[in-house]
Structure 1
């Protein structure tokens, strides 16, 4: 389960990310709380979140082009330093009492700009640290790392905001970037897997898009992640409405739903690390199970049943994420990896701003149970249809037969269809 941690360079990276991810979750909570305190407006909180994700939507593909051209370790040293400086400046403004809401907006936008390069660089740098044999394990542990921080960071932020103030949460986040920067500086360059960088030239963005368009395994994986990210992952809309409008249980239950989902996500990431290989059938099966469980949760009659369903939903959601991420990285030419990962992250992260208003409209018009059911139905349908497309592209057919008196359903090569039909 933890085999990639035997690689010294990845171990340094992993430890740095543990500290930094906790700080990042602390800043997310503190940032929203500060904006709400300054303005009293939930809309202003939404503007802050939008400003942080807007650069990825606008410039994400260009960030991928830069990542393919630049040495990734050097690029990460720059982006991690920039995000650390943004946190420290916001901390100083808050602690001295000079902070205004536009300062928070500017800091969120600056972090978003750094993320345009940082996100694809971090994703693709993993393969340079561990190589192809340990890639899924390392990607899975990165996800487990992030989910663990999601459990710890908000709790610590809440205590810090209550005890000493919002400014110290920003300060912790800014200083937390010392850990990943130190890890990057301590790495042994000779132990990194050499990847040929793309030369500077015209048309590289278009070249990346053409590369993906000519690879059905990549494009359909990204399409599936796009459907699920847009329609299935709108949990801030669904969970708050279930807590207040359906079960009338308040903020405590909303927090419990999120915690249980984070636990499931952590389990999913660790199981993916243990599997060691990225199989398309695992991704398709997880996507179908994820959508089906959302449909079941939409009809859950009690709070406790709904809460318990958050664990497997989180687990299958993380399985989709890890398997898609790994299969795309392993199936992509290293010289194209930055551009392809940038497209993947843009589709995955960009789905929420599109899907959340749709989910909110359905919830307001027809109720939150209908909203969650529609999201689950779209996710499950997309999984089945894209699974059939990928099977056809891979020269497979769906075989239904009997084995030992039990129905047996699986994909088999087309040329074996007649043999299996005769045997059945």
Structure 2
């Protein structure tokens, strides 16, 4: 097994890649819009219904597609040009968000419109993030995976930072229609940037790069599709090839305990971040009494910490990465237990800053380690498997947080989040042990 190395980050080399510069802008713009959408819609639902359960349904609806889409999505990501897949997903999501913005502008917006829009964008996102994470491998030198992941995370969190700083104030002026319109427009900007990442069609299944990757089912399918003859064989062969690819991916993950441990830890952290929105909105409204601007400050604090965490993670020596990975998970667990007792805005923003820092630190370490370990032709299926597990945890946590917070209070809700991050700490300890064993 290849182990993760920690070469020195060369920012000049990273930013010299024209494709990566476009990729960075795409992530920044996309997350600016998505951050405004998520916070704005959550606040709109809470203001309209005064129910954390209804807010949790937004997270649930966004998450459900992740149970099904990645099974096929991982295969598609490892078969077709990841750039074109990303562009297509951006365009489709942008159209539906703009449609919801138009309905809101006309004054006919109902909750089911928002849930429907969220379901569609969630379906796209279930495949989109695995796609772009795999695409990073193709546009950056392997020696710079850590720096590239840090740069992407900084772009993502910078977009979230500006969105968080603006969303509360824009909500009070432009309303939900304005926020959705901005988000819809950002999808088209992101699609354009992804399109400019490179030229031509690049298949992850290049025979010259991966000569042993094609099995008999794939070869028969390719011959039938290229010749245009025997469509029945082509159709049946394609099904067999897709099934074979899925099985191959599961076999790979079963044989890689380090990849599983890193993936599980990262998935739990991701699920915790998304599902925490259920209680974060209630924290701003019920404990801090800060309204929509207060929610914006909380989101901005989280994103500021994430930007700092990404910058620091990119400079860490290899020997310190896994110990800090474990420490970041432990801080998230302890911090969420304490959060509902911090009843003033500055303190709550500081807590969010710490959480963002820890999440970014852990995310960069996990993703860069995975990119150093996982072969390119397995990355799509690996990312999709992580997305499926993340989805399961998000669904369970969103259901639980909505009901527990409404029935037993926010303290119980945050205690549940602390328990989740305790699980990620245990998994991170396991990953560290396996990493040390693999490198010895």
Same fold (TM over 0.5): yes
Partner residue in 1 for 2:309: 268
Partner residue in 1 for 2:197: 187
Q: Which moved more, 1:73-82 or 1:202-211?
A: 202-211
Partner residue in 2 for 1:215: 256
Q: Pick one of 142, 153, 158 that aligns with 1:143.
A: 153
C-alpha contact (below 8 Å) 2:70/2:126 kept by paired residues? yes
Partner residue in 2 for 1:75: 85
List aligned pairs for 1:323-402, cutoff 5 A: 323-359=365-401, 368-369=410-411, 372-373=414-415, 375-376=417-418, 379-380=421-422, 382-384=424-426, 386-388=428-430, 390-391=432-433, 394-395=436-437
* Structure 1 residues 228 and 47: alpha-carbon distance in aligned structure 2, compared to 1, 3 A threshold: closer
Aligned equivalents of 1:301, 1:272: Cα separation in 2: 30
Partner residue in 1 for 2:329: 287
Residue deviations 1:112-148, cap 9 Å, x none? Answer: 2222321211111011011312222122122112222
2:68 is paired with a residue whose SS is helix
Q: CA deviation at 1:159?
A: 4.0
* Structure 1 residues 270 and 161: alpha-carbon distance in aligned structure 2, compared to 1, 3 A threshold: same
Q: Which moved more, 1:365-374 or 1:215-224?
A: 365-374
Q: Pick one of 64, 80, 92 that aligns with 2:74.
A: 64
Residue deviations 1:18-51, cap 9 Å, x none? Answer: 2222122222244345556777766544433322
List aligned pairs for 1:13-24, cutoff 5 A: 13-24=23-34
1:86 maps to 2:100: no
Aligned equivalents of 2:408, 2:43: Cα separation in 1: 30
1:344 is paired with a residue whose SS is helix
Residue deviations 1:246-289, cap 9 Å, x none? Answer: x6655466554443232212211121233486943442232234
1:102 maps to 2:112: yes
TM-score, structure 1 as length reference: 0.78
TM-score, structure 2 as length reference: 0.76
Aligned equivalents of 2:349, 2:172: Cα separation in 1: 27
Partner residue in 2 for 1:317: 359
* Structure 1 residues 100 and 294: alpha-carbon distance in aligned structure 2, compared to 1, 3 A threshold: closer
Partner residue in 2 for 1:6: 16
* Structure 1 residues 46 and 12: alpha-carbon distance in aligned structure 2, compared to 1, 3 A threshold: same
Partner residue in 2 for 1:224: 265
Q: Which moved more, 1:68-77 or 1:20-29?
A: 20-29
Q: Which moved more, 1:272-281 or 1:43-52?
A: 272-281
2:206 is paired with a residue whose SS is coil
1:121 maps to 2:163: no
Long gaps (5+) in structure 2: 1-8, 208-212, 219-237
RMSD across aligned positions (CA): 3.7
Aligned length: 397
Aligned equivalents of 1:159, 1:232: Cα separation in 2: 23
1:70 is paired with a residue whose SS is coil
Q: CA deviation at 1:166?
A: 3.0
Partner residue in 2 for 1:130: 140
